[in-house]
Structure 1
Amino acid sequence: MNSTLDKFLGGKQGAIGLAVLAALILVVFPLLLDAFRLNMVGKYLTYAFVAVGLVLCWGYGGILSLGQGIFFGLGGYCMAMFLKLEASDPESTRIQSTPGIPDFMDWNQITELPLMWQPFHSFTFTVFAVIVVPVALALVIGLAMFKRRVGDVYFSIVTQAIALILTVLIIGQQGYTGGVNGITDLKTLLGWDIRSDEAKLILYFVNAVLLLGCILLGKFILSSKLGRLLVAMRDKEERVRFSGYDVASFKVFVFCIAAAFSAIGGAMFTLQVGFMSPSFVGIVPSIEMVIFAAVGGRLSLLGAVYGALLVNFGKTYFSETFPELWLYLMGGLFIAVVMYFPNGLAGLWDSHGRKWLGRLKRKPAVVVASAKPGGGTPASQKPRELETTP
């Protein structure tokens, strides 16, 4: 492995870790899980996009955003708008007062498709909007905050406030957004039924490949000079600023990258689950997304994926098995991680897993030598190693 690739993947250990994750989500899960459970894992992996972005933004950039649900929701809503328009063709909506518009618009006595919805007839525009709309909002927030050197807890509070405002706005504009119910009853993508088991399987693999692509992009950023500057800004921001670097621009950039990752996750969530609602935009889901990164390890891109899988599996298992106690059990899980594994699953692996593997790989050798009275050692009696099992 050449030095560039070695640096990019994080050495042999990093390459093995990425290969294990790829094998797990591309081979093991599809082989072992039925269609229903695999679709649930696919939903969990859409949250992993947000967690990977938070590793870049929070773990390495030192920017704790408590409003990533904003970008997850915007990406999901952009995709949902295209799918809803496709499901609202005049033939399917002929019983409405105004055929050809989404049902919730008809219920709210809107008689014409709003201007903001019309470009979403195009799938190309929709894919473009899934990325550009959240990134544009992140750019505005970032420039407004970082250029004025607003950071730390103040930035976290501002992102929470924006998440709350956007949630209230979506719910209040029921005729244009579907209100508290969100955008539901999504059926096809370019005429392809996304509700079938076969479609959900294909979407799962598309989701997994996109996630691995985002991880590779994250690794590329962290292995570059920008990655080193992010760590330097996190630890000694003033020193980096006095060295002549525009700290605000770097913060805006990594914040926008995290927003783009979240938006991709939101769009894939809409495709796999079949709806999007304001419940994924607010403060509570945004905080949960931070927990995914914290449990997996806020300094590990791969750990963020495992964190998202573990926390969401815990939510599903506890809610099914202990419906009255599952919130307490989830709280106990979070407290245990913070108290005993402050660096998450990745930190636990670094502190214990590597040592354990190192002990397994070690092979102690016993050297046997017999000295000749005259001084030299004959060839038949030269030191030799006896192989022993660990």
Structure 2
Amino acid sequence: MNLTRLKGPGLFAAVAVLALVVAPLVLEPFRLGLLAKYLCFAIIALGIGLAWGQGGMLVLGQGVFFGLGGYAMGMHLKLVDAQGDLPDFMIWSGVEQLPALWKPFANPVFALAMVVLGPMLIATVLGLLVFRQRVRGAYFAILTQALAAAFVILLVGRQGLTGGTNGLTNFFDLFGQDLAADSTQRGLYFVVAVVTGLLYLGARQLVGSRFGRLLVAIRDGEDRVRFLGYDPARVKTVVFAISAGMAGLAGALFVPVVGIISPALLGVVPSLELVVAVAVGGRFALAGAVLGAVVMGYAKTSFSEQFADGWLYLQGALFILVMTLAPKGILGLAASARDALARRSKRPTTPESPPTDDAPGRRVMEEVG
């Protein structure tokens, strides 16, 4: 199957076949579980692609929303395993009564709702407070990064409530299914793959809508959009909340797939790694965000096994090379190569290239205006 000649629906169908048919047949359970983990990261990257690539909001604290969704799911699973008793880490910490914060999460409906609604609510409040003050650019990025650092400190400091540095682990049951069984893990992979595909289609539909064109216009000229009578703060808040909801859902899927949620997975460094992944894949294209997350996840697993001490340096060097030599990422390189081949063969082509920095969305603002 030649994926380079496929575009749009054909390419999506080909990738879906590879993910839902080929991968479960050729990968052993352990590798299939790793792919499910990469797809969880791809969901977060998709939200970053919306906020950063399409909206110009550099989010460096998506680990917060990932953690909120992950802890919501983890709390429910721990209460199910406890069967009316206290979770194991609370017993070790000397807690004698289940905290009031934990009690609602015994209900699966409430827990699943909080997986998405909790991060979206916090992102909405934060967005309204920040964007209405016209905080943007590096200031917004630093703010989200500081939020991630503060969230980790809070989790580590509440040992009896959150499990401290160890987080929540040792999950055994998922809605009546044995989490350790290969069949359950295979089923989880299919769930993660389908959710990733549906979210990608939804995000693509959003970007192609009038709202999406307005979002791109805000990215390329926020003040000009404001002069046209639109409220950029409201649009950016909506997209920021959507990206937070995606991160929360990814965290909820990550917990049963990997079997742990801890502060080490939520801090500044993991959040930065996701931004690097989006940049490597191509932040101006949603497919690039997903591709970058999967590629970086696989690279981290492969190279860290051989270069355990030097992987972070390789990752940093990769980010510098991409931002210097290929600021549009892997998909940008592919588009440039396709253009070059088309020119050499003297055949016209109309690639879906990401916008360039020297074209500040004038046509887009004419459409939304």
| CA contact 1:55–1:299 (8 Å) conserved in 2 | yes
Q: CA RMSD in A?
A: 1.8
Matched, 1:51 2:53: no
Equivalent of 1:28, from 22, 26, 47? 22
1:192-235, Cα deviation, whole Å (9 max, x unpaired): 11121111110001000000111011011111110110111011
Equivalent of 1:151, from 122, 136, 139? 136
Question: What amino acid sits opposite 1:81 in the alignment?
Answer: M
Aligned length: 343
Question: Shift of the alpha carbon at 1:321?
Answer: 2.0
Task: Name segments (4+ residues, structure 1) moved above 3 Å.
Answer: 353-362
Distance of aligned partners of 1:175 and 1:361 in 2 relative to their CA distance in 1, 3 Å threshold = farther
Equivalent of 2:282, from 297, 300, 307? 297
After TM superposition, the structure 1 = structure 2 runs for residues 294-373 of structure 1, keeping only pairs within 5 Å, are 294-353=279-338, 356=341
| CA contact 1:177–1:183 (8 Å) conserved in 2 | yes
Query: Which TM-score applies when normalising by structure 2?
Result: 0.89
Equivalent of 2:120, from 132, 135, 146? 135
Q: Secondary structure at the match of 1:13?
A: coil
Equivalent of 1:176, from 161, 176, 180? 161
After TM superposition, the structure 1 = structure 2 runs for residues 92-171 of structure 1, keeping only pairs within 5 Å, are 100-171=85-156
Cross-structure match for 1:71 = 65
- Structure with higher Rg: it is 1
Matched, 1:233 2:218: yes
> Which 5+ residue runs of structure 1 have no aligned equivalent?
1-11, 91-99, 363-390
| CA contact 1:75–1:266 (8 Å) conserved in 2 | yes
Distance 2:309 2:266 in 1: 26
| CA contact 1:18–1:302 (8 Å) conserved in 2 | no
Equivalent of 1:201, from 162, 165, 186? 186
> Which 5+ residue runs of structure 2 have no aligned equivalent?
1-5, 348-369
| CA contact 2:279–2:319 (8 Å) conserved in 1 | no
Question: Shift of the alpha carbon at 1:354?
Answer: 5.8
Question: Shift of the alpha carbon at 1:29?
Answer: 1.9
| CA contact 1:73–1:276 (8 Å) conserved in 2 | yes
Distance of aligned partners of 1:165 and 1:324 in 2 relative to their CA distance in 1, 3 Å threshold = closer
Query: Which TM-score applies when normalising by structure 1?
Result: 0.84
Question: What amino acid sits opposite 1:325 in the alignment?
Answer: G
Distance of aligned partners of 1:216 and 1:38 in 2 relative to their CA distance in 1, 3 Å threshold = same
Cross-structure match for 1:217 = 202
| CA contact 2:131–2:237 (8 Å) conserved in 1 | yes
Distance of aligned partners of 1:46 and 1:354 in 2 relative to their CA distance in 1, 3 Å threshold = farther
Question: Shift of the alpha carbon at 1:108?
Answer: 1.9
Distance of aligned partners of 1:347 and 1:113 in 2 relative to their CA distance in 1, 3 Å threshold = same
Matched, 1:252 2:246: no
| CA contact 2:280–2:322 (8 Å) conserved in 1 | yes
